[in-house]
Structure 1
């Protein structure tokens, strides 16, 4: 893939990150966090929902242990992204392999999976895709932080743009691999989890339950995913 093709494929993420990143910048700046710290967080932390949570924890004077536990639970799903891409990650050249593991997000994972079987220089494709997505996020959050003091802007509800983006990318993955069993299983786990787990443990509990069930079915050879 050429650089232009990689850039073109990342445009949906750019629009999603533009809206949500701007909202993160506004939220952080309006909470008293200086733009320079917002920029640093987007370079070092680089986690959409994680940065929303981080601002709330800072404002609430949370302890380091509380920050660790909350961040771990919120981003636990990334373990499964890495496991899913492990063969590709191992084939990447250093130091880009390590950067990609750091910069792997929901949208980067979905975007790469929606391409199907990646052909060509995987190091170039994976690293540039991750870099472009982080660049979009960085610019958006900094822009939001800088303009927060100038504009009386309500960001309520704008975070849903990323949910919509991920839904579209998820649909693209399903089009590449239309496995109805996996789709139905995911919907059932997500729905049942709403009634089983408290809101703050919903994502973690649902993912762990789904993993345990998948491993059990695989071991007993009841399903062939």
Structure 2
């Protein structure tokens, strides 16, 4: 894929990251965080949902232990992302940056693509991750600037990420129409809502889904 083609493939993420980043920037400023802190979070704490939680932690003065536990649980799913891309990650020259910048949406984009044996994986993986981080950086900083100068209501704008995930799931299913895995994911999510505490819902559902896939791997192929 050329650089322009890679950019085009990240446009759906841009449409989600920019408005969500603006919402986060507004949220952080409205919570009392200074502009310089909000400007640096997309660089040093590039972790989506954890960034929103971190604002609450800073405002409430949470302990480092609480920060570590919640951050670990929220981002443990990235372990599965890395395992799913491990063979390709090992081929990358700049794998350290890619592992750092790997997000849900970057993972979904790369898994949804049609693999080409001649593609430059180092360019594809790292540029995709970099562009997505740029979109988030721009959104957060723009939102923080707006929040510092204007009184704006940002209620409901975070739904853009839900819409983005719906599109990405559809794209993955379109390229790999495995209904068994799709329904397993939905099933684990629905059951998880009832059996796991809200704080551990994502972690528990992922573990349950991964365990079922490992135990019944042949049936899901």
SS at match of 2:138: helix
Q: TM-score, structure 1 length as denominator?
A: 0.94
Alpha-carbon distance between aligned partners in 1 of 2:220 and 2:72, rounded to the nearest angstrom: 31
Displacement after TM superposition at 1:41 (Å): 1.3
Aligned equivalent of 1:60: 60
Displacement after TM superposition at 1:224 (Å): 4.1
SS at match of 2:149: coil
Q: Is the 8 A contact 2:180 2:220 kept in 1?
A: no
- Determine whether 1:92 maps to 2:92: yes
Listed as ranges, the gaps of 5+ residues in structure 2 are none
Aligned equivalent of 2:216: 217
Answer with 203-212 or 99-108: which moved more: 203-212
Q: Is the 8 A contact 2:74 2:203 kept in 1?
A: yes
What are the equivalent positions in structure 2 for 1:91-110 lying under 5 Å apart? 91-93=91-93, 96-110=94-108
- Determine whether 1:157 maps to 2:164: no
- Determine whether 1:130 maps to 2:129: yes
SS at match of 1:92: coil
Alpha-carbon distance between aligned partners in 1 of 2:143 and 2:197, rounded to the nearest angstrom: 32
Aligned equivalent of 2:202: 203
What are the equivalent positions in structure 2 for 1:1-225 lying under 5 Å apart? 1-93=1-93, 96-118=94-116, 119-218=118-217, 223-225=219-221
Displacement after TM superposition at 1:149 (Å): 2.4
Alpha-carbon distance between aligned partners in 1 of 2:30 and 2:15, rounded to the nearest angstrom: 23
Aligned-residue CA RMSD (Å): 1.1
Alpha-carbon distance between aligned partners in 1 of 2:144 and 2:180, rounded to the nearest angstrom: 44
Give per-residue Cα distances to partners, 1:120-176, cap 9 Å, x unaligned: 110011111100000010011011111102222111221111111011011100111
